[in-house]
Amino acid sequence: MPFVNVNHLFKSYGDSGSYVLNDVSFQINENEFVCVLGHSGCGKSTLLNLLAGFIKPDKGEISVNGQLVSKPSAQRGVVFQDHGLFPWYNILDNVAFGPKALKNKDAYRIAKRLIRMVGLEGYEKTYPSSLSGGMAQRVGIARALATNPQLLLMDEPLGALDAMTREKMRIEILRIWKETKKTVIFITHSIAEAVYLADRVIVLKEGSICMDEKIEMERPRSVHASQFIDYTKKFEKVLFEQNELVMD
């Protein structure tokens, strides 16, 4: 049985009658790292919100580990583009927030372990306003992992970072994924990012899946490798001619 099963999803907004997502179906295996790639407005973030249980589909259904998704759950951690940290909490309290809400007596022990895992040991008492963009996203990842979710959903978490920080964070995200063995769905509009990170890339275009490609490359991957360039050209052919995508 697939770990994530998305079955004939339809989603529209308002009374326009046009679908943001139009008959979207796919399956994801446990521990797989899948990137959903597409231009702005293609339905990527709507898909993530449906997977998270923040909104409901007009038609179709989603199941994770055999359980239907009908509302938000601690079993699905979400990392947002703007990190979404509580500015009135320090790093330790931000990361411990989820386990504390679940009445976990080990909330602070869990938070300290995850802060150490994302490389921020010593910053526990620091507040979000004092963090760089990359540091804040590390905290966001730690907080999303604090409830030990089955599925980690990442909504363009590197989109607001500068190029150098984004490159470093890609390496960190892969390290954390390998260490935690989570199933990851990563939303991006960057072709190179998708090829660098993913086991598979699902391409969304105008609300429908137009490509589902397994990346047959060992890690770590070099953007200069001929196979890497071939994959980027394949995705360009599908999307770049008509819709502007980020190539870095």
Per-residue pLDDT of 179-207, as tens digits, reads 999 999 999 999 999 999 999 999 999 99
Give the pLDDT confidence score for residue 246 in this predicted structure: 52
In whole angstroms, what is the distance from residue 217 CA to residue 208 CA?
26
What CATH number does residue 197 fall under?
Answer: 3.40.50.300
- Backbone torsions φ then ψ of 118, nearest 5 degrees: -90, 10
Residue 23 lies in a domain: no
Residues written for the chain: 248
Residue 88 lies in a domain: yes
Give the pLDDT confidence score for residue 139 in this predicted structure: 94
Question: What is the span of the domain harbouring residue 41?
Answer: 32-57+69-240
Residue 12 lies in a domain: no
Name the pTM for this structure. 0.92
Q: What is the DSSP letter of 130?
A: G
Paired residues of 155 in beta bridges: 187
How many domains does the structure of the chain reveal?
1
Residue 18 lies in a domain: no
Residue 220 lies in a domain: yes
Give the pLDDT confidence score for residue 242 in this predicted structure: 54
227/13: higher pLDDT:
227
Q: What is the pLDDT of residues 140-194, one digit of tens each?
A: 999 999 999 999 999 999 887 888 888 999 999 999 999 999 999 999 999 999 9
Contacts of residue 20, Cβ cutoff 8 Å, sequence gap at least 6: 11, 12, 13, 43, 46, 207
In whole angstroms, what is the distance from residue 42 CA to residue 25 CA?
15
Q: Is the pLDDT of residue 129 over 80?
A: yes
Q: What is the pLDDT of residues 25-80, one digit of tens each?
A: 999 999 999 999 999 889 999 999 999 999 999 999 999 999 999 999 999 999 98
Give the pLDDT confidence score for residue 248 in this predicted structure: 57
Region of residue 31 (left: phi > 0; alpha: psi -120 to 50; beta: else): left
Percent pLDDT > 70 in the chain is 96
Residue 130 lies in a domain: yes
Contacts of residue 11, Cβ cutoff 8 Å, sequence gap at least 6: 19, 20, 21, 43, 46, 50, 55, 57, 58
Long-range contacts of 11-17 (CB under 8 A, 24+ apart): 11/43, 11/46, 11/50, 11/55, 11/57, 11/58, 12/58
Give the pLDDT confidence score for residue 173 in this predicted structure: 93
Which run of H or of E encompasses 95? helix 91-101
Closest CA to 117 of 95, 102, 97: 95
Q: Is the pLDDT of residue 137 over 80?
A: yes
Residue 1 lies in a domain: no
Residue 246 lies in a domain: no
Give the pLDDT confidence score for residue 104 in this predicted structure: 73
